[in-house]
Amino acid sequence: MKLFFLFAKRLVCLVLLVSFISSCQPYKPPLTVAAAPWPNYEFLFLAKQLNYLNPEQFSLFELPSSTSVTQAFQTGKLDVAFLSLDEVLTLVALGIDLKIISVIDQSVGGDSLLAKPEIKKLQDLKWRSIGYENKAAGALLLDEMMSLSGLNNQTIQLYEVKQNEVKDAYMQGNIDALIVREPQKQQLLELGAVELLNSSILEQRITHLIVTREDSFYSKEEQITELLKRFYKAQEYYKENPKDALTTMSVRLQVYPYLLEKSFSGTLFIEPRDALMRLSGSPSNIELQASQLSKFMTAKNMLGKIPSNFNSLISTRILERVIYE
């Protein structure tokens, strides 16, 4: 009788325990990540290609432009997004709660103003049509071009051309100049386009970041950490096996590997420890950049509302884990 009771009690405990454990581990949907084409972003897809990322845990969306990424992030379809600082500021201004968890690179020529071969210098752009994606990079380059050439809004025609549309737009020939970024820049240069200006001369650096939605930051920290680790691991792989990596990566971007290699030259990859330094401090490097950029963007009417505190947007925790674990 006593034995029976003991057995029953143990059984009940076991059932409760099992149900508790299973309720603690519900079906976890994969971490959704998206990135637009950009050389240093490709390590993400390289990691997937290298099978560093378990498809059960990580779902990568290949979006053709950063605008699509921003929109997807904004609509909550993404947990993690690879975005430039201005895009991040735009999202913050829209009231999206997010965290900047790492810095990937700086554009040192990756963004360029390309023009048809017949246009040799900036002044030739007068009365011409210029296509650009309404983003900080484009705005900064336009601003630089205007200040260098003395042209203004009245003397040039501006068209919105998204990153994935630039090739079609250039080939159709309706647009005289385009503000493009890698790897499309290399594709257009192949088609004979002339580089008039690039981001390397810009005082304001175009910085690319990894951000995560704030709720995902807290609930999926492990997965995000894992993602970053795999990302940097793929980057390591690229450094060690550049040819192989370039070949793999070029397939997705539909460019030749040598062009992709050129694309990388327009970027300055920031190693994790460096990134951690840029994110650390009060105010941190990124904070200062954000503050500067936000002022510029506000001035250009690109931002509705300036975020008051950038510090709260930054979290080094995941990056620290990536580095030290």
Nearer to another protein, 9 or 120 (CB): 9
The answer to the question of residue 282 lying near another protein (CB under 8 A) is: no
Minimum distance from residue 312 beta carbon to another protein (Å): 28
Which region among 72-80, 236-244, 285-293, 305-313 touches another protein (by CB under 8 A)? 72-80
Q: Which of 174, 254, 265, 311 binds another protein (CB under 8 A)?
A: 254
Q: Which of 6, 14, 15, 201 binds another protein (CB under 8 A)?
A: 15
Compute how many other C-beta atoms are within 10 angstroms of the C-beta atom of residue 194: 18
Which region among 59-67, 268-276, 277-285, 317-325 touches another protein (by CB under 8 A)? 59-67
Strands 31-35 and 58-62: parallel
Q: Which of 3, 24, 27, 173 binds another protein (CB under 8 A)?
A: 27
Q: Which of 10, 19, 123, 312 binds another protein (CB under 8 A)?
A: 19
* 6 half-sphere exposure, CB direction, 13 A CA radius: 3
The answer to the question of residue 77 lying near another protein (CB under 8 A) is: yes
CA distance 48 to 34: 12
Minimum distance from residue 20 beta carbon to another protein (Å): 8
Which region among 26-34, 124-132, 196-204, 220-228 touches another protein (by CB under 8 A)? 26-34
For residue 88, what is the DSSP state?
H
Which region among 23-31, 123-131, 189-197, 207-215 touches another protein (by CB under 8 A)? 23-31
CA distance 223 to 142: 39
Nearer to another protein, 32 or 84 (CB): 32
Total residues contacting another protein (rule CB under 8 A)? 37
Q: Which of 14, 201, 251, 299 binds another protein (CB under 8 A)?
A: 251
Q: Which of 135, 162, 230, 278 binds another protein (CB under 8 A)?
A: 162
Neighbour-count burial for 214-224, b at 16+ CB within 10 Å, e otherwise: eebbeebbebb
The answer to the question of residue 206 lying near another protein (CB under 8 A) is: no
Nearer to another protein, 161 or 303 (CB): 161
Nearer to another protein, 17 or 201 (CB): 17
Neighbour-count burial for 86-108, b at 16+ CB within 10 Å, e otherwise: bbbbbbbbeebebbbbbbbbbbb
The answer to the question of residue 171 lying near another protein (CB under 8 A) is: no
Contact 171, 116 (CB under 8 A): no
Q: Exposed (0-12), middle (13-18) or buried (19+): which is 324, by Cβ within 10 Å?
A: exposed
The closest of 274, 216, 227 to 57, measured between CA atoms, is 227
Ranges of beta strands (E only) in 111-264 are: 111-115, 129-132, 157-160, 177-181, 194-198, 206-213
Q: Which of 32, 90, 149, 294 binds another protein (CB under 8 A)?
A: 32
Element (DSSP H or E) covering residue 4: helix 2-24
Q: Which of 4, 51, 203, 308 binds another protein (CB under 8 A)?
A: 4
Minimum distance from residue 136 beta carbon to another protein (Å): 21
> Which residue is associated with the tokens 């420890």?
273
Contact 183, 65 (CB under 8 A): no
Element (DSSP H or E) covering residue 1: none
Interface ranges with another protein (CB under 8 A):
1, 4-5, 8, 12, 15-16, 19, 22-23, 26-27, 29-30, 32, 34, 45, 49, 59, 61-65, 68, 72, 77-78, 162, 164-165, 167-168, 251-254
